[in-house]
Amino acid sequence: MHPESRRRNDVEKNRADDITDPSQTVAGGQVRAFIERIERLEEEKKTISDDIKEVFAEAKGTGFDTKAMRTIIRLRKKDQAERQEEETILDLYKAALGMV
């Protein structure tokens, strides 16, 4: 057997031994717990996302402009200074393009 192949086999054997090491088992359990928590949260996120879509569909059915509503929601997430800065830049660009 080639020395390089023997070295690779030894490394692979050591990795296999590490997996049965109790500290690796604990880490494996921790990783599994984190992954399962994330998966549950992803499921909740999808449920909430579906609920939000449903509310937008209801608003649209009532005659509201959902694009405008989404813009309002996005703007409400920003503080007043940030909103004013964005509006100032938009006004400047619109003026430069002759849109005002």
What is the pTM for the complete model shown?
0.63
pLDDT over 60 at 16, yes or no: no
Rounded Cα distance between 74 and 60, Å, is: 18
**pLDDT band per the 50, 70, 90 thresholds, residue 26:** confident
* DSSP string covering 41-71: HHHHHHHHHHHHHHHHHHHHHHT--HHHHHH
Domain map (residue ranges) of the chain: 25-96
What does the block give as tokens for 6? 């023997």
Residue 48 C-beta-side C-alpha neighbours within 13 Å: 6
Mean of the per-residue pLDDT values for the chain? 89
- State the pLDDT at residue 25: 74
pLDDT one-digit tens code per residue, 35-64: 999 999 999 999 999 999 999 999 999 999
